[in-house]
Amino acid sequence: MDAMTDRISSRLWPAGLTRVPYWVYTEQDVLAAEQKRIFEGPVWNYLCLEIDLPNNGDYRTTFVGSMPVVVTRAEDGEYCGFENRCAHRGALICLEDGGSVQDFQCVYHSWRYDLRGNLRSVAFSRGVNGKGGMPPDFDMSCHGPRKLRVTTFCGMVFGTLSPDAPEFETWLGPEIVSRVRRVLGNRRLEIIGRFTQALPNNWKLYFENVRDTYHASLLHLFFATFRITRLSSGGGVLVSETGEHHASATRAPPQGADSSYQGMRSDKESFRLADPSLLGMHDEFHDDIQLQILSIFPGFILQQVHNALAVRQIVPRGVDTTDLNWTYLGFVDDTPELRAHRLKQNNLVGPAGYVSMEDGAVGGFVQRGIAAAADELSVVEMGGAGAETQETRATEASVRGFWKAYRMHMGL
Amino acid sequence: MGDADTLFRLAALNTDYASCIDADRLEDWPGLFLEHCLYKITTADNHRRGYAAGVVYADSRAMLTDRVAALREANIYERQTYRHIVGMPALRPAEAGEIAAETPFLVVRTMRDGRMDLFAAGVYLDRVREDSGRLRFAERLVVCDSSRFDTLLAIPL
């Protein structure tokens, strides 16, 4: 263990998965350790979509945790990734969101890199008029930004900085693989919108919120009232063996009165839409799952809310600020009716989403609530103490799964 | 109708629009749109790329009514107000019977605890029609300069 881990380990954290100390959301050294041990550790980080890079020479800038990264399509079509940091003085190599190039040249001193991130030339390396220049033994092959191992799956590009990351599909496990394929498999994706939501909270509070099947119909009245999801609808939560990944499902609701919410704030049976065309579902997945929220450790979410599809990428910006990058998706073969329906149903999600806007704020409520509570503990005990798959969503099993994986990766 | 008159009426429409939102008369806001309309909040980047999705997307006045009802009845967000500062409309080529205009805006958001932020800046791209003696929006595209939305976008822009 290094000094950083020792310092973090000396803080209070009871054994088990049902208590989480608040210092994990507030301390700068924890964030720094997370970058090293989690984001740069043996995990696969979502980078971009394959359709972001349709041609050789295309690139897109993205993040692995707080690390800026360039993803490229090399001359032979291979997907490559490297840190967006010049090997000379550390400036960003690439300033744009994306584009198409033959090579990259740092604007600061014109050091030039190929599409795989290899340093190819150093300006004035032999000096000017026989004076100055780099030492004759300067070896360009020993200098370059850190490179990622990159893989693709269902139209998405993932990367890792760790030689110890397992093969991607093995790491996900067969159940999560099939749940991703259920939504994205063998379909030609099309981007229909991109938005960034700036969250006033630690990144983990958002990732926990995504995996928290308990809150959905209590915080989000819109869902409950229109029976888009209620915990009394069928469904459950799948948690991968290590706890790293999850997929929750909501199945078509049962008919008849439902009394399990009586007296709660989110119980408002009288609320009805003037234009109900927003609701309903085109049967594109040929099963009874109306909602599927899937997360891949440490910062990726695939969302299917009826026909509203999106991928979300979590980018930590500081202990109490996080960017959430939304990419709204459709498929190239969408009928005009289905596409129109997706555009309407996107009202459910995103920064202004009927059922997701609260998620943008509730993490901030926690972050502000715990301002003086670093050594206090939160309670994660709904549905027991384990992190295994459950046939109900009235459980925090998936949240405990996150902490199981987190403690494993952090060595805590 | 001359350009000066058109501009005056557009400015009055925009003033009414801003007042509906800033003075929390949201129930009056859908009435500024035609029954069949398009209201979309998007970003300059999405608009330029032709990405059709919005963070808010309504293709009927009833959907705008629902948006207001959801804000009043369903959604949870901290008390906050907007102050719209709307610039002078610039007329754009329009189809017969319509007015097309582009109008810059700024929105300052004031939170419950007094914190004020410049929340949004951009342009309204409008198609406006005469309807029962007044101008109403057939289309209002709210094109924000930035692709980042702070925390959440509850109240319309």
What are B3-35's pLDDT values in tens digits? 899 999 999 999 999 999 999 999 999 999 999
B3-142 has which fold? Answer: Nuclear Transport Factor 2; Chain: A, (3.10.450)
From chain A, the residues in CB contact with B46 under 8 A are 193-195
Q: What is the pTM of this model?
A: 0.95
Instruction: Note which residues in 255-274 of chain A have CB less than 8 A from chain B.
Output: 268, 271, 273-274
Contact yes or no for A225 and B147 at CB 8 A = no
Calculate ∠ Cα B25-B91-A340, nearest 5°: 65
A1 pLDDT more than 90: no
SS3 B40: strand
Nearest CA of chain B to the CA of A272: how many Å?
9
Give the model confidence (pLDDT) of A336-345 as tens digits. 999 999 999 9
Q: How do B116-131 and B134-144 pair as beta strands? A: antiparallel
Give the model confidence (pLDDT) of A345-366 as tens digits. 999 999 999 988 999 899 999 9
Nearest CA of chain B to the CA of A88: how many Å?
31
Q: Which residues pair with A248 in a beta bridge?
A: A237, A293
Give the model confidence (pLDDT) of A262-307 as tens digits. 555 555 555 678 898 888 789 999 999 999 999 999 999 999 999 9
Contact yes or no for B51 and A194 at CB 8 A = yes
Query: Which residues have a Cβ under 8 Å from the Cβ of A384 and sit 6 or more positions away?
Result: A395, A397
Query: Which of B43, B46, B75 is nearest residue A354 as measured by Cβ atoms?
Result: B75
The CA-atom distances, in angstroms, between A220 and each of A216, A264, A393, B60, B73 are 6, 12, 15, 24, 11
The whole-angstrom separation of Cα A167 and Cα A165 is 7
From chain A, the residues in CB contact with B148 under 8 A are 196-198, 323
Q: Which residues pair with A119 in a beta bridge?
A: A113
Helix boundaries (H) for A313-412: 336-345, 357-369, 397-410
Average pLDDT, chain A: 92
Band (A257; pLDDT cuts 50, 70, 90)? very low
> What torsion, rounded to 10 degrees, do the Cα atoms B12, B15, B21, B26 define?
-20
B37 pLDDT more than 90: yes
A342 touches B59 (CB < 8 A)? no
From chain B, the residues in CB contact with A222 under 8 A are 70, 74-75
Domains of chain A: 45-152 (2.102.10.10), 170-410 (3.90.380.10)
Q: What confidence score (pLDDT) does residue B59 get?
A: 97
Query: Which of A274, A323, A360 is nearest residue B62 as measured by Cβ atoms?
Result: A274
Q: Touching check for B70 and chain A: CB below 8 Å?
A: yes
Which of A66-80, A164-178, A280-294, A299-313 has the weakest average pLDDT? A280-294
Q: Interface pTM (ipTM) of the complex?
A: 0.96
The whole-angstrom separation of Cα A41 and Cα A252 is 39
A219 touches A362 (CB < 8 A)? yes
A255 pLDDT more than 80: no
Give the model confidence (pLDDT) of A179-198 as tens digits. 999 999 989 999 999 999 99
Percent of chain A with pLDDT over 70: 91
A39 pLDDT more than 90: yes
Nearest CA in chain B to A217: B74
Instruction: Tell me which DSSP letter residue A380 carries.
Output: -
The whole-angstrom separation of Cα A236 and Cα A175 is 13
The gap from C-alpha B106 to its chain's centroid, in whole angstroms, comes to 11
**Structure token pair of residue A88:** 């000379």
The whole-angstrom separation of Cα A297 and Cα A301 is 9
A258 pLDDT more than 70: no
Suggest the residue from B38, B151, B157 to mutate for an interface test with chain A (most A CBs closer than 10 A): B151
The CA-atom distances, in angstroms, between A272 and each of A212, A227, A314, A342, B3 are 27, 11, 34, 20, 43
Contact yes or no for A351 and B53 at CB 8 A = no
Taking residue A257's Cβ as centre, other Cβ atoms within 10 Å add up to 5
From chain B, the residues in CB contact with A344 under 8 A are 57, 59, 63
> What torsion, rounded to 10 degrees, do the Cα atoms A130, A132, A133, A138 define?
110
Count Cβ–Cβ pairs < 8 Å, chain A vs chain B. Answer: 123
Q: Is A119 left (phi over 0), alpha (psi -120 to 50) or beta?
A: beta
Q: Touching check for A196 and chain B: CB below 8 Å?
A: yes
Name the strand (E) or helix (H) holding A178. helix A174-184
The whole-angstrom separation of Cα A215 and Cα A52 is 34
